[in-house]
């Protein structure tokens, strides 16, 4: 069964973090599949071909969650796993974090490496804005102009998310709601419009419902 809600990041982001002349560049992006994560990693490697390490971790998928990480030449356990631990601690799915390192000539030690990769990953994720997503059903509610504002107020009060109104002969209000709240929406439409409103199911989509 597909997930109905999950935590991820809102956008692609990049930060730079320097420790003892070593520069760590964290790139974070929302991804839907392992293939998308691999494509993103390939893009970062192409952008920084002269970097010594491209450490990464990702969690992606829907019905089956794929989880992978790599130290990419760093001492085992000091890089990829710390980045993955950040994703796990923040409970993020459908996200990849790539931390590119330019060595500054000063050894950081295993503890220093772990802290540096963890810090860079955390900074990158915050820059990408963690958020909560949900699969919501989209309905178009067609009603008279005379009750349009009243319906919008009632819908928002009932915690339904609204899209931009489509102005035609009669207005159409896009409404997003969980699958199990369809009857609640229909009842609200009938109550506000005295049974004259029309509800049409358009489809489902992944929608950001709040910041994490």
Cα 1 from chain centroid? 20
Return the pLDDT at 178: 86
> Running DSSP on this structure, what letter comes out for residue 73?
T
pTM beyond cutoff 0.85? no
Q: How far apart are CA 158 and CA 174, in angstroms?
A: 15
User: How much is the pLDDT for 1?
Assistant: 35
Q: How many CB atoms lie within 10 A of CB 1?
A: 5
The model's pLDDT over 97-106, given as tens digits with 9 standing for 90+, comes to 999 999 999 9
Buried b (16+ CB within 10 A) or exposed e, 173-198: bebbbbeebeeebeebbeebbeeebe
Could you state, in order of their start, the residue ranges of all structural domains in the chain?
A: 5-128, 132-211
Question: Quick one: tokens of 3?
Answer: 């997930």
Given 3-state DSSP classes, what are the helix, strand and coil percentages for the chain, each rounded to the nearest 5?
35, 35, 30
Give residue-wise pLDDT tens across range 116-129: 999 999 999 999 99
Span 74-115, pLDDT tens digits: 999 999 999 999 999 999 999 999 999 999 999 999 999 999
Which CATH fold topology does 5-128 show? Ribosomal Protein S5; domain 2 (3.30.230)
Phi, psi of 128 (to 5 degrees): -85, -5
When the candidates are 1.10.260.40, 3.30.70.240, 2.40.30.40, 3.20.20.10, the CATH number that belongs to 132-211 is 3.30.70.240
Taking 50 as the pLDDT cut, the residues of the chain under it are 1
Q: Is 61 left (phi over 0), alpha (psi -120 to 50) or beta?
A: left
Average pLDDT, the chain: 93
Calpha distance 31→133 (Å, rounded) = 13
pLDDT of residue 62: 77
SS3 170: coil
């Amino acid at each position: 069964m597909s997930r109905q809600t999950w935590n991820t990041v809102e956008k692609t982001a990049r930060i730079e973090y320097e420790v003892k002349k070593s520069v760590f560049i964290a790139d974070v992006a929302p991804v839907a599949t392992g293939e998308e994560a691999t494509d993103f990693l390939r893009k970062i490697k192409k952008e920084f071909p002269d970097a010594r390490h491209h450490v990464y971790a990702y969690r992606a998928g829907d019905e089956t969650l794929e989880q992978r990480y790599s130290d990419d030449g760093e001492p085992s356990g000091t890089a990829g796993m710390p980045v993955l631990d950040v994703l796990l601690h923040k409970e993020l799915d459908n996200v990849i974090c790539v931390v590119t390192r330019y060595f500054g000539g000063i050894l950081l030690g295993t503890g220093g490496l772990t802290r540096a990769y963890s810090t860079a990953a955390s900074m990158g994720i915050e820059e990408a804005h963690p958020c909560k997503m949900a699969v919501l059903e989209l309905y178009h509610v067609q009603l008279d102009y005379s009750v349009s504002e009243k319906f919008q107020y009632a819908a928002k009060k009932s915690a339904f998310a609204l899209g931009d109104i489509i102005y035609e002969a009669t207005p159409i209000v896009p409404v997003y709601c969980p699958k199990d709240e369809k009857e609640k929406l229909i009842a609200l439409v009938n109550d506000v419009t005295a049974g004259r409103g029309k509800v049409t199911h358009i489809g489902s989509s992944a929608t950001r419902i709040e910041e994490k």
